[in-house]
Chain A
Amino acid sequence: MPFIEMHDVGKSFGAREVLAGVNFSMEEGEFVSIVGASASGKTTLLKIVSGLLEPGCGQVTMAGESVTGFSSQAAIVFQNYSLLPWLSALENVRLAVEAAFPSYSRARQDEHSERYLKMVGLGGALARRPSQLSGGMRQRVAIARAFAVEPRVMFLDEPFGALDALTRATLQQELARMCSEAGRPVTALMITNNVDEAILLSDRILTLSRGPSASLSPAVPIDLPRPRATDLLFHDEQAVRIRGRLAGFLAAGSRPRFGAPTNAAFSRGVSKSNVPVEA
């Protein structure tokens, strides 16, 4: 029985149907990515799987039980870090640790939080507030916070979307390293619009068609050995092939946002994004 399962899930906001007929399942210990263009309903999908949002129809189960709210066995990393600005890096992580391990002594909670911050390379910035940290460092704190509660499943909502390309590449490798050093297979579901990122980190990639009424395509398995270096994307035959396929899908999936008739689109002038591209 799969660890997480979505069965025929749909969601509408008012008259706009964002998701329709989404079926999905993943096993424990898998790292799965869902790739989709922006505004395709990725975040809505993740919110529904994680229990932050109720599905309009269909069913979501985790470990055999119906998902009714954010699980105590889950952690999430948001795109915009979502750190509390009045708490230091250590206090931000400790707040999560306190809630997850109330039986630990204060000293042990401190030690535990510190260990995870050191793991993301922030051992020297424990006392700093988020405003005193760079974007990349803030996201490291958020990642440390997610790992620190030792969740059974981790949800990543475009975790590196707000970062510059260089920081993004570094953090992708860091995340891969954290997963391999966790001592047990990490179960993670990542939402991203970056194909390369998905290939570097995932065991399996699914694509979400562009909304409205978006649904998931069949999965593409990634059998590349780990650790995966960035240059793999350009040299490895399988990686290059998958990359081309996914990029083609993303481009083909692009069409005017609200499905306007083609004529109207043309009368407003043709832009690259609303012309279907042969993949």
Chain B
Amino acid sequence: MKKIAANMVLALVGVTLVMLLWATLSQTVAKDLPSPLKTWEESKVYVLQPFDKRGEMDQGILRMAGYSLFRVAKGFLLAVLIGTPLGFLLGASNLFYKMFDPTIQVLRPISPLAWLPLGLVLFRQSEPAALFTIALCSMWPTVINTMQGVRAMPQDYHNVARVLRLSAWKRLTKVWLPATLPFMFTGYRLSLGLAWLVIVAAEMLTGTPGVGGFLWHGRNTTA
């Protein structure tokens, strides 16, 4: 208990020091940087009424975060729904792997935001274009990890499936899925992280309401 209190005090000291540094910087070298006090004055309406909706871009911070979270969830779900079966196919079939792995290795390192213009051309609307970008960018860790999981499955499990003469469905649900599940979840975790990274940038560019849109709007409306 005492230790927790001491840790909290230390953390508070740290925050105070950073604030002081911020205030000093805004007073001295970086004159364009608003001071902590001014920042609070300007943003308190968004923080103190976090769920208010006053206009399209004029909404409370938690409401904005909610939009972003919801969008991330949708894009991530899409990535999982496409990425998992794709990873399974790549891992299970050598033919499929040899056919599509080179293409995937080329597509994978493409910068997240490079997909956005294509999305906008395809869907003509910012919302589906943002989802398209998130799904496409965050899909790869799921694909690669699921593939690795299937490929790394011990020969024993293949043997069991073979000698017990399991049906295709049983083979999938009782052997393959449980064996690759840990790998799949590693992929999902990485994908979710990527999706959250991509969303802010995607919203900035499309100007949709959300954390990124809010930031961009803020920058545009401050002189």
Query: If the complex has contacts A82-B156, A99-B170, are A52 and B163 also in contact, measured as CB distance less than 8 A?
Result: yes
A124 to B30, CA, bound (A): 74
> Main SS of chain A's interface residues?
loop
Report yes or no: A99 in contact with B164, Cβ–Cβ below 8 A: yes
Q: How far is the CB of B182 from chain A (nearest CB, A)?
A: 10
Q: Which residues of A are found within 8 Å of B123, using beta-carbon distances?
A: none
A95 to B162, CA, bound (A): 12
A99 to B164, CA, bound (A): 7
Count of chain B residues near A, Cβ 8 A: 14
Report yes or no: A70 in contact with B174, Cβ–Cβ below 8 A: no
A154 to B156, CA, bound (A): 18
Tell me the residues in window 60-98 of chain A with beta carbons closer than 8 Å to chain B beta carbons. Answer: 70, 72, 74-76, 78, 80, 82-84, 86-87, 95-96, 98
Report yes or no: B160 in contact with A82, Cβ–Cβ below 8 A: yes
Q: Which residues of A are found within 8 Å of B165, using beta-carbon distances?
A: 70, 72, 99-100
**Out of B162, B164, B170, B174, which one reaches A52, CB within 8 Å?**
B162
A80 to B175, CA, bound (A): 17
Apart from A70-B162, A74-B163, A100-B165, 17 more pairs, CB < 8 Å: A70-B163, A72-B165, A75-B163, A78-B156, A80-B156, A82-B157, A82-B160, A83-B160, A84-B157, A84-B175, A95-B164, A95-B170, A95-B174, A98-B170, A99-B164, A99-B165, A149-B164
A8 to B25, CA, bound (A): 88
Report yes or no: B170 in contact with A84, Cβ–Cβ below 8 A: no
Q: How far is the CB of B123 from chain A (nearest CB, A)?
A: 41
12 examples of A-B residue contacts, CB within 8 angstroms: A52-B163, A78-B159, A82-B156, A84-B157, A84-B160, A95-B166, A95-B174, A96-B164, A98-B170, A99-B167, A99-B170, A100-B164
Tell me the residues in window 149-185 of chain B with beta carbons closer than 8 Å to chain A beta carbons. Answer: 156-157, 159-160, 162-167, 170, 174-175, 178
Report yes or no: B178 in contact with A99, Cβ–Cβ below 8 A: no
| 6 A-B pairs with the lowest CB-CB distances in the bound complex, closest first | A86-B178, A82-B156, A96-B164, A76-B163, A99-B164, A82-B160
A82 to B153, CA, bound (A): 13
A87 to B178, CA, bound (A): 10
Query: If the complex has contacts A78-B156, A80-B156, are A87 and B163 also in contact, measured as CB distance less than 8 A?
Result: no
Residue interface mask B47-66, A partner, CB < 8 A = 1: 00000000000000000000
Report yes or no: A84 in contact with B178, Cβ–Cβ below 8 A: yes
Q: How far is the CB of B185 from chain A (nearest CB, A)?
A: 14
Chain A, Cβ-Cβ closest to B181: A86
A76 to B161, CA, bound (A): 12
Q: Which residues of B are found within 8 Å of A149, using beta-carbon distances?
A: 164
Residue interface mask A164-175, B partner, CB < 8 A = 1: 000000000000
Q: Which residues of A are found within 8 Å of B159, using beta-carbon distances?
A: 52, 78, 82
Q: Which residues of B are found within 8 Å of A78, using beta-carbon distances?
A: 156, 159
A149 to B166, CA, bound (A): 13
A87 to B167, CA, bound (A): 17
Q: Which residues of A are found within 8 Å of B164, using beta-carbon distances?
A: 95-96, 99-100, 149
Q: Which residues of A are found within 8 Å of B178, using beta-carbon distances?
A: 84, 86
A256 to B47, CA, bound (A): 79
Q: Which residues of B are found within 8 Å of A84, using beta-carbon distances?
A: 157, 160, 174-175, 178
Q: How far is the CB of B17 from chain A (nearest CB, A)?
A: 50
Q: Which residues of B are found within 8 Å of A83, using beta-carbon distances?
A: 160
Q: Which residues of B are found within 8 Å of A95, using beta-carbon distances?
A: 164, 166, 170, 174
Q: How far is the CB of A195 from chain B (nearest CB, A)?
A: 27
A66 to B214, CA, bound (A): 72
Q: How far is the CB of B177 from chain A (nearest CB, A)?
A: 10
Tell me the residues in window 213-228 of chain A with beta carbons closer than 8 Å to chain B beta carbons. Answer: none
A13 to B90, CA, bound (A): 27
Could you say which of A72, A86, A96, A99 has the most chain B C-beta atoms within 10 Å of its C-beta? A99
Q: Which residues of A are found within 8 Å of B174, using beta-carbon distances?
A: 84, 87, 95
A70 to B161, CA, bound (A): 11
Q: Which residues of B are found within 8 Å of A52, using beta-carbon distances?
A: 159, 162-163
A86 to B154, CA, bound (A): 14
Chain B, Cβ-Cβ closest to A71: B165
Q: How far is the CB of A221 from chain B (nearest CB, A)?
A: 30
